[in-house]
């Protein structure tokens, strides 16, 4: 019960919710860039959120299923087809043995997530199947897909569960608007004018942005005076400012500690929106209170809990 890779696509890796509990040892958490899409894809095929999905970046692979199963895509619309017929995101379908999943022209977004019923057969490393390319571990031999790779999958012929997605698309979708942040640990070390520029200017995502971090180009952000800081823990969404004044947003494959001053942190509910942005696109930031960030996070958790319990209406 396997699928075979006919074409590898671009930077397609297996990811789950990440490996927790090891950052104090210098082990990155890794995991999906867009947790919403990952959870929705798994939900649509009847999996728990802990199951790995295939994270597909911009250019999708071509895969042939060598066993029947149920699949679903969520996140970016990368022009997927199943045996030549369009396959839209957020739709679970049964696939027969020999069916071919391919991708064509991108419609929107940067990352799609492919779930299969009961998951992929992958070994765990430190409690996770997430791929960490720089460390060459996790996922499929610690790397992206290659031509002729064969991946074990569960074979299932049951109908996909009936999932009614909510109308609150702002919690699960990719609506336009600023990326919301809370003030960072060193917010007060930046000049008031620089703080205002950070919250009023547009920043372009640079071409060398990837899973470790998004480098931004725009109005420089200056400190009140030079500061020598000890390295301390960083998280997904930390916005660091190196000496050139150009912000860097740390992403899923971030390092575990950093010494650059931290002006802000992207709130958790907006990380999926940021993960779906491409190099060359512009983003703006909006500051919210910690209380508001926590309210939004709790609302998203409650919505997913309702969906997973099968009580959405």
Q: Express each pLDDT in 268-298 by its tens digit.
A: 999 999 999 999 999 999 999 999 999 999 9
In the prediction, which pLDDT does 138 show? 96
In the prediction, which pLDDT does 157 show? 66
In the prediction, which pLDDT does 174 show? 67
In the prediction, which pLDDT does 313 show? 44
Which domains, ranges and CATH numbers included, belong to the chain?
Answer: 2-163 (no CATH), 179-304 (2.40.100.10)
153-165 pLDDT, tens per residue? 987 667 777 776 7
What pTM was estimated for this model as a whole? 0.94
Is residue 171 scored above 60 in pLDDT? no
> For residue 17, what are the contacts with CB-CB under 8 A and spacing of at least 6?
31, 32, 35, 38, 49, 50, 128, 130
In the prediction, which pLDDT does 312 show? 44
Distance CA 85, CA 48 (A): 28
In the prediction, which pLDDT does 173 show? 56
Is the CB of residue 249 less than 8 Å from the CB of residue 228?
Answer: no
Distance CA 234, CA 238 (A): 6
Distance CA 74, CA 33 (A): 13
35-83 pLDDT, tens per residue? 999 999 999 999 999 999 999 999 999 999 999 999 999 999 999 999 9
Is residue 167 scored above 70 in pLDDT? no
Distance CA 46, CA 237 (A): 29
Confidence of residue 126 (pLDDT cuts 50, 70, 90): very high
In the prediction, which pLDDT does 131 show? 97
Is residue 170 scored above 60 in pLDDT? no
């Amino acid at each position: 019960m396997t699928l075979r890779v006919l074409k590898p696509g671009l930077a397609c890796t297996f990811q789950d919710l990440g490996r927790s509990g090891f950052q104090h040892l210098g082990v990155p958490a890794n995991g999906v860039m867009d947790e919403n899409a990952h959870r929705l894809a798994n939900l649509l095929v009847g999996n728990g959120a802990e199951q790995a999905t295939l994270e597909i970046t911009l250019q999708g692979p071509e895969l042939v299923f060598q066993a029947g199963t149920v699949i679903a895509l969520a996140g970016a619309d990368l022009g997927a087809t199943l045996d030549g017929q369009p396959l839209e995101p957020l739709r679970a379908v049964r696939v027969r043995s020999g069916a071919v999943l391919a991708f064509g022209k991108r419609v929107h977004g940067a990352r799609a997530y492919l779930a299969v019923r009961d998951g992929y057969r992958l070994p765990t490393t430190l409690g996770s199947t997430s791929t960490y390319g720089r460390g060459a571990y996790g996922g499929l031999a610690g790397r992206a897909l290659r031509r002729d790779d064969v991946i074990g999958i569960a074979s299932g012929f049951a109908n996909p569960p009936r999932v009614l997605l909510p109308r609150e698309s702002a919690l699960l979708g990719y609506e336009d608007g600023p990326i919301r942040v809370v003030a960072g640990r060193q917010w007060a070390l930046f000049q008031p004018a620089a703080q205002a520029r950070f919250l009023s200017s547009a920043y372009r995502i640079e071409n060398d942005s990837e899973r470790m971090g998004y480098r931004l180009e725009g109005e420089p952000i200056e400190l009140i005076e030079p500061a020598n800081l000890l390295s301390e823990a960083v998280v997904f969404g930390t916005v660091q400012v190196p000496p050139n004044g150009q912000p860097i947003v740390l992403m899923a494959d971030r390092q575990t500690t950093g010494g650059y001053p931290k002006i802000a942190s992207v709130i958790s509910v907006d990380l999926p929106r940021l993960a779906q942005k491409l190099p060359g696109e512009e983003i703006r930031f909006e500051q919210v209170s910690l209380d508001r960030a926590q309210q939004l996070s709790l609302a998203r958790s409650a919505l997913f809990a309702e969906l997973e319990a099968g009580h959405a209406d």
